Homo-oligomer: A and B are copies of this chain.
Amino acid sequence: MAKAPQHAISPTREEDYAEWYQQVVRAADMAETSPVRGCMVIKPWGYTLWENIQKNIDRLFKDTGHTNAYFPLFIPKSFMEKEAEHVEGFAKECAVVTHHRLEAGPDGGLVPAGELEEPLIVRPTSETIIGAMYAKWVQSYRDLPILINQWANVVRWELRTRLFLRTAEFLWQEGHTAHETAEEAWVETRKMLDVYADFAENYLAMPVLKGQKTPNQRFPGAVETLCIEAMMQDRKSLQSGTSHFLGQNFAKASGIIYQSREGREEYAWTTSWGTSTRLIGGAIMTHGDDDGMVMPPRLAPAHVVILPIFRKETERDASLEYAEGIARDLRKLSTPWGGPVEVIVDRRDMNAGEKGWEWVKKGAPVRVEVGPRDIEKNAVFVARRDLGPKEKYGQGRDDFIAALPALLKEMQDNLFNRALRYREENTRDIDTLEDFRAFFTPKNAERPEIHGGYAMSHWCGDEACEEAITKELSVTIRCIPFDREKSGPGKCFVCGKDSPGRVPFAKAY
């Protein structure tokens, strides 16, 4: 058996975080780049995680009264132009369809033909096309609220891409709701942010801060943008979901007008909210370690992988049979969150060590080795992915099975608590510009990836102070926490004016 490398992933997180990330995505076989510039291929192990994300978050949407529908991939250019800030925000990254067929060109190859009267934009987001439909559907206050979500692909032309984190095409969901009153739309905006936070923390085991964006970082056309932010293991922040209060901006652009209870014509109040395959990048960067991916058990594509061990051909059948028996019993169980325990018996004819390392890199929560000696003792040899790859332990077969749901719960909690501790250890109250600069300046020139984390600092509310900091240090205010005032008042560390409370500054993806 080949000697196991010290770490399955090279470089390690400390050595080169960005490259470590790419290597984990590859080693876990979750996605890869495609020959189409900026577009990724999501491979089965990554896509199954996405399916589990979809299934669970979709349930949360339905439990809060939403239904799904589907709207066109293409948006006529004139629709995008209806909301000035919106089109300005997306014009630089639009894939534009201009022709509707190919025909033989002068040199024999095929060339675009059948030019469209009006160019179509491949949707970067769907406020304008969905708004046009809502304008048709809404006549009276009785038609409100509309509470619809769409699962879709969207395209934002990006030149510098990173798998899951920033790609030209990505998969997401976008909720679009229309309401009778501003207050009701606000309640919706907050409610969906809470759904995202619930999902991030209780399913992805990824602790998040909740708050509202500063004006600089609002969604183009929104009145307010709320967000959840999570700290990755390079101490940078990942925006992981946004919920927008759109006021009447898009209702005015699209003509969503209803007759009110008082008989007046009014514009509806709308919201939109989205999260995407970026969550997969967040899960990798929150839980992954120097041996690869670590799947949060609640969303893992499989919970248990059983590896039958045999050295001689004569041991083969017995090992496989024993493994399948355990799998059968495990599949009868429910996870602590409902739904069946998913089990893979890896029957491939391969070196057992190699096989085991493959599942370490893929982040399967529990690995179970079963060989002739285990069969003799009616036992199993267990490895938990949240512990080191060598901390394996023997356990009676039936005890292992009986304890499996509780083990999954314990691991899920461990992952969350570890991530929370990491965030807390890398969050500091910072009160002077000098300390702030030091916090965001690499201490070690040989390890430039190490920087501060979240600086909790006072801010006066002036965009100019934020911009100065962003320009100097590439640091932004990630959000204005809803409970900002809990930290007490102080003075803006940039200009010295009054601040009602601290806000988190960080480098971000």
Contact = CB atoms under 8 A, between A and B. Distances in A.
30 contacts: A34-B71, A35-B76, A36-B74, A36-B75, A36-B76, A40-B72, A41-B69, A41-B70, A42-B69, A43-B69, A44-B68, A44-B69, A47-B67, A47-B68, A47-B69, A47-B70, A48-B68, A73-B122, A74-B95, A77-B110, A80-B102, A91-B101, A91-B102, A93-B101, A94-B102, A95-B97, A96-B102, A97-B97, A97-B98, A102-B121
Nearest to A58: B51
A103 B75 CA distance: 16
B102 A87 contact: yes
Contacts of A133: 34, 41
A129 B32 CA distance: 13
Contact of A100 (B75, B93, B103, B152): B93
A228 interface: no
B153 A73 contact: yes
A35 B134 CA distance: 12
B155 A73 contact: yes
Interface residues of A, number: 60
A96 B102 CA distance: 8
B157 A100 contact: yes
Nearest to A90: B102
Given A35-B79, A72-B39, A120-B36, A112 B91 contact: no
Contacts of A129: 34-36
Given A100-B94, A129-B34, A67 B87 contact: no
Given A47-B67, A73-B155, A81-B109, 13 more contacts: A34-B71, A36-B75, A39-B72, A41-B70, A47-B69, A48-B68, A72-B169, A74-B95, A80-B102, A80-B110, A81-B110, A93-B101, A96-B112
Nearest to A51: B68
A152 B68 CA distance: 16
A342 to B, nearest CB: 11
A332 interface: no
A94 B98 contact: no
Name, among A100, A101, A111, A148, the residue most crowded by chain B CB atoms within 10 Å (CB to CB).
A100
Contact of A112 (B68, B75, B79, B119): B119
Interface in A122-138: 122, 129, 132-133
Nearest to A109: B81
A345 interface: no
A171 interface: yes
Given A92-B101, A93-B101, A101-B157, A74 B39 contact: yes
Contacts of A67: 44, 47-48
Contact of A122 (B34, B70, B122): B122
A252 interface: no
Contacts of A35: 76, 79, 129, 132
Contacts of A155: 73
A396 to B, nearest CB: 32
A43 B81 CA distance: 25
Contacts of A86: none
A484 interface: no
